[in-house]
Structure 1
Amino acid sequence: MFDYFCKLLHGWPTNVTFNKYEHEMLLDLIKKGHAEPDNKIGTGIKAFVIRYHPIWKNKCFFFVREDKSSDDFSFRKCVNHILPLPEDMRAKADVNKALACRSRGGGRGGSRGHGQGRCRH
């Protein structure tokens, strides 16, 4: 489950609305995995997209509600709520979230942008 959402996050371009299948998978993830799904969903979710988080500067799942408001959510926390992850893969409140599910590498010959790195656990 973790690998599916991690690859989805890093395999899709930013600012593209997900198709119906992925929309349903992400909605189900929030409903089953978020600590407060009704508050998070609010007026209903119209679309899911990937954007760069304004604070953490990494790719993140966002959704647009029916009322046009938007919010982000942590797929890692949702997955962990459904199926507990190993300790080293859990989101930590005291760790920079920009490190979560990032590809390692970069430069020539690195794995950057190829869905590898932490997502391969």
Structure 2
Amino acid sequence: MDLRVQSTLGYEHIVLLGLLKKGHLEPDRKIGTGIRAFQIRFHPQFKSRCFFVIREDGSVDDFSFRKCVDHILPLPENMQVKHDANKALARGGKGGGRGRGRGGKPRN
């Protein structure tokens, strides 16, 4: 089995579908034509493992398990997922200036 892609089975499928229906801000758009499977895959943009829906029509989309849970049962503010967190992760932590730890020759 390819460790980069894991499909959910039976009970897990039911739980994830319920979570998506109750916790996602736009469940109808995310579910689309119906969900054939859920998978855990490596997301190339965010460099982490993420949940993906595989729809009946073969289309694929990612979703945030944690954001769905937060919508149903909000966490304390200091533990919540920031809505712009994906934007920060997409840059890969590459800042534009000479920050700490950058190394190189010091300027005189």
Sort the TM-score into its range (normalised by shorter chain).
Answer: 0.7 to 0.9
The one-letter code sitting in structure 2 at the alignment partner of 1:60 is: C
Distance 1:88 1:60 in 2: 22
Q: CA deviation at 1:16?
A: 2.0
Aligned in 2, Cα 1:97/1:23: closer, same or farther, shift over 3 Å? farther
Root-mean-square deviation (CA, aligned residues, Å) is 1.5
Q: CA deviation at 1:37?
A: 0.4
Correspondence 1:69 to 2:59: yes
Percent of residue pairs bearing the same amino acid type: 62
The one-letter code sitting in structure 1 at the alignment partner of 2:14 is: E
8 Å CA contact 2:5, 2:42 repeated in 1 = no
The one-letter code sitting in structure 2 at the alignment partner of 1:53 is: H
The one-letter code sitting in structure 2 at the alignment partner of 1:57 is: K
Distance 1:27 1:35 in 2: 14
Show the counterpart of 2:98.
Answer: none
Structure number with larger C-alpha Rg: 2
8 Å CA contact 1:91, 1:97 repeated in 2 = no
Q: Which consecutive unaligned segments of at least 5 residues does structure 2 have?
A: 91-108
How many residues align? The count is: 86
Q: Which has the higher contact order (CA 8 A, sep 6+)?
A: 1
Distance 1:48 1:57 in 2: 19
TM-score (ref. length: structure 1): 0.66
Q: Which has the higher strand share?
A: 2
Correspondence 1:44 to 2:34: yes
Q: CA deviation at 1:86?
A: 1.6
2:25 equivalent among 23, 29, 35: 35
Distance 2:49 2:36 in 1: 20
Aligned in 2, Cα 1:57/1:44: closer, same or farther, shift over 3 Å? same
Show the counterpart of 2:83.
Answer: 93
2:4 equivalent among 11, 14, 26: 14
